[in-house]
Structure 1
């Protein structure tokens, strides 16, 4: 677990959620605002065309790279937003399960949204995040 990010749970809220309901980072931490992580290969092509799970995994892989460049990793993430281009709940859940599993015990607060369309050709998933580190 991160020494910077504190995850907050409540016994007054549903335990059906698979993540903490809130998180905090100390005032002296450096915030990292990540662009939406897309399922793009280095050459700009879309990975996992037609496959929600494969695209979610590529988003997490790319997010890890961006975090590493900023001196952080997934345990420094304060919150996420998972965008899935589908109106079918099962597609959202498929993408969500990949993201949830990638974070493991660092179950940061997250919002899962079904959207109409995303920005790249054949893109089905995008994962946004905010992280915090202490230098």
Structure 2
């Protein structure tokens, strides 16, 4: 099955230009939406990696997000929005995680929310990334028409 991206990023001309991402995104009716659970900084054994390292955990969460997207028939370019959760009250910790996420998305700078939270679900977990993606799947080619039954 061939897939094409459905996501259109919208940049506001009236809101602050300080944000490092688009303020909105759309996908047309008929898009297949993919809602991804929070991507965590876990290795293949379910262990938290990069303990104490916000950027290192963000990198692992992005790697796991890419895998989950691929398993759903999508890629980072199909993401329509993200939410980045960072277990810290320190802005510099949030920024350390955000820079990894921002760099991973490159020119596909989707609308995103960066939040400091009290605690996340796994031992030593500092970062989690939620995402929604949208794709347009090409319809399967139709076979030859069957002759009517007698």
TM-score normalised to the size of structure 2?
0.88
**Contact residue 86 and residue 128 of structure 2 kept, 8 A:** yes
Aligned to 1:112: 114
Gap regions ≥5 residues in structure 2: 138-150
Matches within 5 A, 1:15-30: 15-30=17-32
Ranges of 4+ aligned residues in structure 1 off by more than 6 Å: none
Aligned to 1:12: 14
Distance, in Å, in 2 between the alignment partners of 1:17 and 1:57 is: 21
Distance, in Å, in 1 between the alignment partners of 2:136 and 2:74 is: 9
Aligned to 2:34: 32
Secondary structure in 1 matching 2:42:
coil
Aligned-CA RMSD value: 0.8
Larger C-alpha radius of gyration, 1 or 2?
2
The answer as to 2:47 corresponding to 1:48 is no
Secondary structure in 2 matching 1:134:
strand
Aligned to 1:73: 75
Gap regions ≥5 residues in structure 1: none
Q: 1:81 offset after TM fit, Å?
A: 0.2
Q: 1:3 offset after TM fit, Å?
A: 3.6
Distance, in Å, in 2 between the alignment partners of 1:11 and 1:31 is: 27
Match of 1:85 among 70, 84, 87: 87
> How many residues of Structure 1 are paired with residues of Structure 2 in the alignment?
134
Distance, in Å, in 1 between the alignment partners of 2:83 and 2:26 is: 16
Distance, in Å, in 2 between the alignment partners of 1:44 and 1:107 is: 29
Distance, in Å, in 1 between the alignment partners of 2:36 and 2:9 is: 19
